[in-house]
Structure 1
Amino acid sequence: MKLATVRAAEGTRAVRVEADRYVDLGFPDVRRLLEAPGWSVLAAADGPALSLDTPLAAVVPEPGKVLCVGLNYRSHILEMGRDLPEHPTLFAKFADALIGAGDDIVAAPESDMVDWEAELVVVIGATVRRADPATAAAAIAGFTVMNDVTMRDWQFRTREWLQGKTFDSTTPLGPVLVTPDELPGGTAPACTISTTVNGDVMQSAETSDLLFTPVDLVQYISTMITLRPGDVIATGTPSGVGHARSPQVFLKAGDKVVTEISGIGRLENSVVSG
């Protein structure tokens, strides 16, 4: 099943994605759908049809938590010159950073080092705390795509990364949530993840390169905090970021960025000046 949040005339709506239409599920967004008891049954119900031309919002427009994992692809850890971590490296974003799959990425004028990071994202579908592996897997509603756009000069001002990670209107999330049963590997998706900038391939990897799996991350994070429906966990980016290139390459106004994960979908965003 594929779910999305669209911008309809009356406001945002949670929809099921069909080949020829969106089906309005009667909730204002995917988070509200996931919060409803028996959401998977509700998501399969019939409803009014909306055109596939209806624009997409962030698949979860206002998650309670946007949790992110740094240094989680072996290839990216090595390109950044670091040792493999024993535990996940965690940071956060705020909902104001999130945009839709086709929205413009706003490059802040305060940064000269705007970078891309393709990421597989876990969307939580059940309240969970101190999960064992089976409970963690069952709490995963599905997966989506994020471009964790980062202001590198701000990120590395201090040892804490938050300030470079959560500039407003920088982070596309979507286009859809895909339930695990539709992906090879289920809750351990075996997918190809990539980024192109102006048609040039910058990142291309397999999600099997992840050091900590989605289930590992739900277990680890739920040890500390309660995860709730609609929370999202960005699982990290593979090698190929602009900061690690020689010479370094960063995004600028007018660039076209495509972030894609096989079996889930693609984000197509233009960069504009803030």
Structure 2
Amino acid sequence: MPRTLLRCDDGTRTFWAVQFGERLAPLDLPAGAATTGAILSRHWDAIWDAREEDATVARADVRLLAPVTCNQQFICQGVNYRSHVHESGLKVADFPFNTLFTKASSCITAADATVVRPPNVQLLDYEIELGLVLRRDLPAGTTVAPDRLHEWLAGVTIVNDLSARDVQLPQGQFYKGKSYRGFGPVGPGLVLLEPQEWRRWPELHMRLAVNGRVRQDAYCGEMIHQPAATLSELASLQDVRAGDLVATGTPAGCAARAPGKFTMFVLRHFMSEAGKWRAFVAKGRSNPMYLRPGDRISAAIRTDDGRIDLGEQTTAVAAA
């Protein structure tokens, strides 16, 4: 059975715990186990040895923190779902490569934390994503086989890749447009999977709603560049460490949409690059799907039979 690892704050201390229903079993760990990488690489057995009779803390009595600590890398995949490629006005055939970028780890926040829309941002968008968290360091040149994900990955979590489209797209800066503080809700927990359960990742069903209305609804099996291939490519590029987070892309349903063919023709042939983006931002301000102060986002990922359940994020949007 999956096991949910939580990072908690009870007002006097921060600690790791294993969830058993509505009660938590705190883990007795040395002070050096404060980070996600440390607990996963050094105390894996302690997590799985926790017992239900050790669950002495009520979940309602603690505040949940993001299960990925801010010292870890926040690596992302873009245009990785066929439906999102299509709604962006693109073709899957034009993306034979894996689009990789990073978000600042300082944007990581708890699953129920309020997100403040910066004063210079008007086009704030949401992206539900499946997050993969490394169990151990990934040595350079490693080839990860699809049936050996459990050797490298600890578990899965929910990520909302919040994005300032009026920064990201006109300026061509993914990092800047996606890295404002609070733009990375992660959690509520890190769901650790046993080896046979990793085969079920394509069955994970993602749903995101804004103010109770579903905006995104898709299965993770729609991914173009899948976890094993992505981990192998990352190992050929850079150091990837235990506890690092890989967000695997989002499906259709975002607020940002591609213009129609006629509009694209006009923009391409009759407007300057600067004019094109001014028109994009102006039109976006009248799009009711972009997030506004007072909106509430809910995001959940689970298999349809409920055997693997990553919980639910509940995020409120506030003005600066």
Find 2:20's aligned residue among 15, 18, 21. 18
The 3-state SS of whatever aligns with 2:231 is: helix
Aligned-pair CA distance for 1:9: 2.5
Q: Give the aligned partner of residue 52 of structure 1.
A: 59
CA contact (8 A) 1:193 1:206 kept: yes
Please provide the CA RMSD for this pair: 2.0
- Where structure 1 has 5 or more consecutive residues not aligned to the other structure, the ranges are none
Which residue, 109, 123, 127 being the options, matches 2:133? Answer: 123
* 1:87-107 per-position Cα deviation (integer Å, ceiling 9, x unaligned): 211111112211101110111
* Counterpart AA for 1:59: P
Cα distance in 2, alignment partners of residues 17 and 144 from structure 1? 14
The structure with more radius of gyration: 2
Q: Deviations over 1:227-256 (max 9, x none)?
A: 111100000000000112887320011101
Q: Which residue of 2 aligns with 1:228?
A: 241
Counting matched residue pairs gives 272
The separation in 1 between residues aligned to 2:195 and 2:208, in whole angstroms, is 22
**Selected match of 2:185 from 153, 169, 172:** 172
Structure-2 residue corresponding to 1:269? 315
Q: Which residue of 1 aligns with 2:47?
A: 43
For the residue of structure 1 that corresponds to 2:16, the secondary structure is strand
Could you tell me how far apart the structure 2 residues matched to 1:215 and 1:118 are?
20
Q: Structure 1 vs Structure 2: percent identity of aligned residues?
A: 25
- Aligned residue among 256, 269, 272 for 2:296: 256
Q: Residue in 1 aligned with 2:276?
A: none
Q: Aligned with 1:44: secondary structure? A: helix
What is the distance in 2 between the residues matched to 1:210 and 1:94?
Answer: 24
TM-score by length of 1: 0.92
Higher helix share: 2
Partners of 1:60 and 1:207 lie apart in 2 by: 21
Mean alpha-carbon deviation: is it higher for 154-163 or for 129-138? Answer: 129-138
1:45 Cα offset (Å): 3.0
The aligned residue for residue 221 of structure 2 is: 208
2:206 aligned residue (164, 174, 193): 193
In structure 2, stretches of 5+ residues that fail to align are 260-285, 303-308
Give the TM-score of the pair, scaled to structure 2: 0.80
> Which of 102, 105, 108 lines up with 2:115 in the alignment?
105
The structure-2 alpha-carbon separation of the partners of 1:82 and 1:140, relative to structure 1 and needing over 3 Å to count, comes to same
Question: What CA distance in whole angstroms lies between the structure 2 residues aligned with 1:253 and 1:199?
Answer: 15
SS at match of 2:65: coil
- What SS does structure 1 have at the residue aligned with 2:120? coil
Amino acid across the alignment from 1:256: R
Moved over 4 A (4+): 182-185
